Amino acid sequence: MKNISIELLWHCSAGSAGVNRAFPYRFTRKSNQTRLSFPNLPRTSYRLKSCSATLSLMVEMEENPKFDADKAASLVKELRKNFNSGRTRSYEWRVSQLKSIEKMVEEKEREITEALHKDLSKPAFEAYISEISQVKSSCKSALKELSGWMIPEKVKTSLTTYPSSAEIVSEPLGVVLVISTWNFPFSLSLDPVIGAISAGNAVVLKPSEISPATSLLLSKLVEEYLDKSAIRVVEGAVDETTSLLEQKWDKILYTGSARVGRIVMAAAAKHLTPVTLELGGKCPAVVDSNIDLQVAVRRIIAGKWALNSGQVCIGVDYIITTKDLAPKLINSLKYELEQFFGKDPLQSKDMSRIVSSSQFARLVKMLDEDKVSDKVVFGGQRDESQLRIAPAILLDVPEDSQIMQEEIFGPLMPILTVENLEDSFEVINSKPKPLAAYLFTNDEQLKKDFVQKISSGGMLINDTILHVAVDGLPFGGVGESGMGAYHGKFSFDAFSHKKAVLYRSFTGDASVRYPPYTPGKQRLLKALISGNIISIILALIGWSKD
C-alpha cells in the first residue's frame, strides 16, 4: 500500500451556529502499523452541543507486481547474460560470495533465530545447531577446499592416443534453481546455494512459503549481502514456483515431498534439465537387545522429537525391535522423554511446534484412525491452538494403517515387533527405499548384514542423523527417497559439469588410423587396442603371433 488520503469533515453545532470544516490528511502505512494524527484539528474553548465527523478515504494501492512466467523468463535471461559474461566463474568471485554468506550469518544470527522461532517455534539452541552452524560449516569447508576442487583432475591416457594427456575440468552448469523446504528453511536453502556458488553458477533460490518469516528474511539478506546480478531470491507459493519451473534451467535442486518431486521432475524433463531431488521416506531404526539401551534411547529421541518435533526427512520414522525387548524399550523411552521435555511436553520450550494447521490435522488423523487409536501406549496429547502434539509411542500398529503407509513427519513413533531382528530386513525392504536407516547393535555380523541387505540414501550404526554432519559423506536419497547428492565437495560436484579434455600435439601422427586399410594396419591397430607390447612389436616389424 502506498498511501491513504483521508478527508475528515467535522461538523459541530453550538446553539444555532454550526461549524463545518474539512481537514485533509495523508499518511503512509509502514511495517503493518498505522497511526493517525490530525495536527490541523482545531481546539475549541467553548462547549459544543453535538459533534459529528465523517471520514472520506481515498486509498491509493501500490501492489507488488505479480511474478508470472514472463517475469520468470526475464529473470533467467538476465542471470544468463551475467553468467555468460564470465563474472561468476572466477575464483575471486566465488570466494567473495562465500565470505559474504559467512558474514551475513554472523551478523544476522539473532534475526535468523527469531525467524525460525516465528515459523516453527524452534528453540534457539536447536536453531543454532541444526541451521546456523550447518551453514557456517558449509561455508568454512568450501572456502578451505575450493581452490583444490577447481583444479582439473589428471587422467591417464592409453597407447591408442599416445602421445597425449587428459584431464577432467569442473565447469559451472550455468543458471540453476534451488527450491527449498520449510522444516529447515534456513540451512536447506543456503547449503545448496553454497554449492552452486562454489561451482561458479548464477542461482535463483525459491524458499518455502510455509515458513514465511524465514523466506522473507532470506530475500532481504541475500539482496543485502550477495551479488544480485547473479544470485536472487523469489518468494511465493504455487503460482511462482510453477512460473519458475516453466523456464529452462541448467540444473534444479528440489528438497521436499515425493509428490512435488514428481512435478519438478516432469517440468524439468520438458527441457532435459538435470535434477537433484532430496525427498524423504519412512526411515527405520532397528534396536537390538545387546546394547546400552539408555544411550540408544537418548540418541533416538535426539533424532526424532528433539529435532523439529519429528519434522525431519532423516528422522526416525518407526522402530523395529523384538517382542521381548519392546516393553523395556518403551519404558526407557517414556522415562527419557520425561527427562527431556517434562511431565507436560506441550508446555516445553525445548520442542518445536507443528508447522501448520493442515499438518497438525494430518497427524491427528493418523493418531485417531480406528485401527490405530487403541495402539497408543504413551503420549499423543494435543493442543490445536498452539499446534503442539506431545511425543506419542504406538505399539504394533497395522501395516496397512496410514501411519505406516506414509512418512509421518511429526512426533509420532510406531514400534513394530518381530521374533528375530533378521526379520526386520524383510519389513524394511517391503517399503520404498528410505532416505536414512539406523541400527543399534553390538553384533558385528548384524552390522555387516544390515549394510549389505538394506538399501537407503544413508546409514548410521548406533546413532541417528549425525551422518549428515560429515562433509566427506554424500547426502542424498535412492529410489523414491531421492536422486543425486550434495554436502561438501558433493555440492560442488552436483552443480558442476565434469568436462573431459584430451590434449594432443601434432607429433606422433600414425598412418595406421587412415585409409587405405591394409591387413598390416589392421594387425597393428588390434595390437595397439589390446595394449599387448609383444603384439605391437610384432605388428610393427610385420610379423604375427598366428
Instruction: Give me the active site residues, please.
Output: 278, 313
User: Residue 190 burial (CB < 10 Å; 0-12/13-18/19+)?
Assistant: buried
Reading the block at residue 93, the C-alpha cell is 568471485
CB 484 within 8 A of CB 275: yes
Return the amino acid letter for 83.
F
Plot region of 524 (φ>0 → left; ψ -120 to 50 → alpha; else → beta): alpha
Return the amino acid letter for 267.
A
Lay out the sheet containing 153-155: strands in order across: 153-155, 164-172, 496-504
Reading the block at residue 310, the C-alpha cell is 519429528
Cis peptide before 24 (omega within 30 of 0): no
Helix (H, G, I), strand (E, B) or coil at 31: coil
User: Residue 508 burial (CB < 10 Å; 0-12/13-18/19+)?
Assistant: exposed
| DSSP 8-state class, residue 132 | I
Alpha carbon distance 200, 194 (integer Å): 10
**C-alpha separations of 157 from 149, 163, 166, 368, 415 in Å:** 22, 9, 7, 65, 55
Reading the block at residue 481, the C-alpha cell is 527417497
Where helices occur in 209-325 by DSSP H, the ranges are 212-225, 238-245, 258-269, 293-302
Nearest-CA neighbor of 244 among 79, 106, 399? 79
> How many Cα atoms are found within 13 Å in the side-chain-facing hemisphere of 392?
27
Residue with grid cell 537418548, as numbered in its chain: 298
Return the amino acid letter for 326.
A
| DSSP 8-state class, residue 249 | -
Sign (positive/negative) of CA torsion 433, 436, 439, 445? positive
Sign (positive/negative) of CA torsion 491, 312, 286, 351? positive
Alpha carbon distance 224, 384 (integer Å): 37
